[in-house]
Chains A and B, each alone.
Chain A
């Protein structure tokens, strides 16, 4: 089995998922080659062949150009499987490659068991084992599902490739997240509100518990999307990654994007009515309760200590 690993970089910086691709190849016991549009000066540690397109020439991610570059490498290497991160880059590019290859695409793979690819369904509440029926397969890997046991090592053998063909989608620039305001990264205690708070008025009780514990309050994505809490308090993939001494998740079911932003906290408490919510997988203590009753009670008891 031969794998083509699609590494990812942004503005010349290598992104985190690259070594997870290498770990996946190791798990599959497969030989691999790597593809990267990036900077020659910032190469991944990798013991193998790297097809490198110069990021400065090619520019930031453009679907048509990257697809053609990948297809050129596939024509040369004829891999059985193409692996990408399940990221905004990977999930955008993968279906384009799969379509061109007449290949099955299996998204957000979290494990491989007996040759079957394991994927999450319904917010990780369920899992499916999936098998491709095509000669080639394209997979995207869930962030954090595959890790290297050792530090990555090696220097890749670089083969430079050049882009050809036009593009229909024109990249015009990045917009950075608004900065300023609260810095959750510095908080020792974070109490976060999820969809389970029900209405914007209930943000106050989350903030009150955070204050009683000398910390800050945060929120999961749905709460921020509803504009009940400002974006600079969002914890998760598209918000902040935090590692406080104590993280209390209130009414947060535990979507993978949220878990990625808080699961390395030192101690995690979840307050949720659903005993089976995925947040329970990372929580040190799961309190099965309606937060609207439990949180004010807990706050009062802490205040009177």
Chain B
């Protein structure tokens, strides 16, 4: 069995963001980087599937500059067999259709039985890439999956809908699965596995070899949204803030009356 899992490196969402010089994306300096949270579930599910079927080969794909190798190493330490690094210093400037096109071009002809992606990225959050990859490869896809089971080529999955309801579906592999938060419990790489990961194959493929389509949309500008809140901001001494808040709650709500 051949499995592909696609991951993205994103900034920690708690970071202080700045706009870049071009004014169309956030500046990449002074940020802490990590694996897109949704992709951690995708990697975990791919590794679990590999462990289940035993005879499986698992590739992790990531598009970006050399910096993304750090995130790929985590996926390798979690249990992926090999990395496919699509080298691109301007991955952030590419829209979802181009990103999907690059992944589909890589996967074409490689006969992957299962392709896992996160259901969206934490930064751009388009929720398009996984489903587009499937469309481009002519494969079925199931998005927003919170439960996955595989048995002899047959996949049973549960999609998360609004209001806590799940839709149960059946589909035959090959198939693309996009993973929602809470799908499993992503493992922490152990030290021996981190050491082993350093010896695993890390392919390097220039993005121009795989990018064969044009962007369908462009970003005009990026900016900080205007603060809507006319809310009161309390800062400073803890005890004083607590007293002020209690007074406000007494005045404005009935809960402390």
Residue of B nearest to A113 (CB): B220
What is the CA–CA distance of A192 and B170 in the complex, to the nearest angstrom? 36
Using Cβ atoms and an 8 Å threshold, which residues of chain B touch A301?
242-243, 246
What is the CA–CA distance of A225 and B160 in the complex, to the nearest angstrom? 13
B interface footprint on A254-280 (CB within 8 Å = 1, 0 otherwise): 000000000000111100001110001
CB <8 Å contact, B126 and A107 = yes
A residues 202-232 touching B (CB-CB < 8 Å): 213-215, 221-222, 224-225, 231
CB < 8 Å: which of A64, A189, A289 contacts B238?
A289
CB <8 Å contact, B220 and A116 = yes
Q: A153 an interface residue at 8 Å Cβ cutoff?
A: no
What is the CA–CA distance of A154 and B38 in the complex, to the nearest angstrom? 42
Residue of A nearest to B162 (CB): A237
CB <8 Å contact, B26 and A126 = yes
CB <8 Å contact, A104 and B245 = no
CB <8 Å contact, B164 and A121 = no
Q: A122 an interface residue at 8 Å Cβ cutoff?
A: yes
CB <8 Å contact, B220 and A132 = no
What is the CA–CA distance of A58 and B6 in the complex, to the nearest angstrom? 33
CB <8 Å contact, B253 and A132 = no
Q: A32 an interface residue at 8 Å Cβ cutoff?
A: no
CB <8 Å contact, A121 and B97 = no
A126-B223, A133-B215, A238-B164 given as contacts; is B131 within 8 A of A96 (CB)?
A: yes
CB <8 Å contact, B255 and A294 = no
Using Cβ atoms and an 8 Å threshold, which residues of chain A touch B220?
116, 128-131
CB <8 Å contact, B167 and A124 = no
Using Cβ atoms and an 8 Å threshold, which residues of chain B touch A43?
none
CB <8 Å contact, A269 and B245 = yes
CB <8 Å contact, A169 and B140 = yes
Main secondary structure of the interface of B (DSSP, over half): mixed
Q: How many interface residues does B have (CB within 8 Å)?
A: 79
Q: A188 an interface residue at 8 Å Cβ cutoff?
A: yes
Q: A95 an interface residue at 8 Å Cβ cutoff?
A: yes
A interface footprint on B158-171 (CB within 8 Å = 1, 0 otherwise): 11111111111111
CB <8 Å contact, B242 and A10 = no
Using Cβ atoms and an 8 Å threshold, which residues of chain A touch B120?
91
Q: B11 an interface residue at 8 Å Cβ cutoff?
A: yes
What is the CA–CA distance of A274 and B13 in the complex, to the nearest angstrom? 11
B interface footprint on A92-113 (CB within 8 Å = 1, 0 otherwise): 1011101110011111100000
CB <8 Å contact, A297 and B239 = yes
A interface footprint on B167-183 (CB within 8 Å = 1, 0 otherwise): 11111100000000110
Q: Which of A95, A98, A173 has the most CB of B within 10 A?
A: A95
Using Cβ atoms and an 8 Å threshold, which residues of chain A touch B162?
15, 87-88, 237-238
Residue of B nearest to A85 (CB): B162
Q: B89 an interface residue at 8 Å Cβ cutoff?
A: no
Using Cβ atoms and an 8 Å threshold, which residues of chain B touch A189?
255
CB <8 Å contact, A103 and B13 = no
Q: B21 an interface residue at 8 Å Cβ cutoff?
A: no
A125-B13, A133-B217, A280-B231 given as contacts; is B255 within 8 A of A213 (CB)?
A: yes
CB <8 Å contact, B128 and A188 = no
CB < 8 Å: which of A92, A123, A132, A268 contacts B131?
A92
CB <8 Å contact, B166 and A175 = yes
Using Cβ atoms and an 8 Å threshold, which residues of chain A touch B127?
86, 91, 95, 107-108, 140
B interface footprint on A267-305 (CB within 8 Å = 1, 0 otherwise): 111000011100011111111110001100110011001
CB <8 Å contact, A10 and B161 = yes
Q: B229 an interface residue at 8 Å Cβ cutoff?
A: yes
Q: B51 an interface residue at 8 Å Cβ cutoff?
A: no
CB <8 Å contact, A99 and B136 = yes
A interface footprint on B130-153 (CB within 8 Å = 1, 0 otherwise): 011001100011111000000000
What distance in Å separates the Cβ of A96 from its nearest Cβ neighbour in chain B? 6
What is the CA–CA distance of A126 and B227 in the complex, to the nearest angstrom? 11
Residue of B nearest to A87 (CB): B162
Question: Which 6 A-B pairs rank lowest in CB-CB distance, beginning with the nearest?
Answer: A177-B164, A104-B216, A168-B140, A225-B182, A99-B135, A95-B131
Please name 5 further chain A to chain B contacts, defined as beta carbons within 8 Å, in addition to the given A100-B135, A175-B158, A297-B242, sorted by A numbering: A64-B140, A91-B143, A170-B170, A237-B162, A285-B231
